[in-house]
Amino acid sequence: MSCARTTDKELLRLRQSFRIALEKYLDIASHESGRLTSLTPEAISEIDRANLMLLSQRGKAAHLTYTRARTALIAYLERAAALRRGA
């Protein structure tokens, strides 16, 4: 029973990690989208360029975190399914 509890906790942790990463990624992507749609090529200052670069880096980092969380959750589910088929 202890192994099942550990497995349940791990699954809950992976699900929560995935959900949080997805929410953060969507929040950053939404912010980036709103920022990009408000700019015009003639009106981009040096500060705007720096902010866009920072926003782009944050978006890439959030996407990477989301992708890693998704991969970890999928891998866990595939391992669990394989164990159940073998059991």
Beta-carbon contacts of 17 under 8 Å, excluding residues fewer than 6 positions away, are 69, 72, 73
Find the distance separating the first CA and the last CA of the chain, reported in whole Å: 16
pTM given for the model: 0.81
What the block records as the tokens of 70 is 């998704």
The domain containing residue 75 runs over which residues? 2-86
Query: pLDDT digit string (tens) for 47-80?
Result: 988 998 999 999 999 999 999 999 999 999 999 9
Q: What are phi and psi of 44, to 5 degrees?
A: -85, 115
Query: pLDDT digit string (tens) for 14-54?
Result: 999 999 999 999 999 999 998 888 888 887 889 988 998 99
- A 10 A CB-CB count for 69 gives 21
Do 26 and 65 meet the contact criterion of CB atoms below 8 Å apart? no
Considering its fold, how many domains does the chain have in total? 1
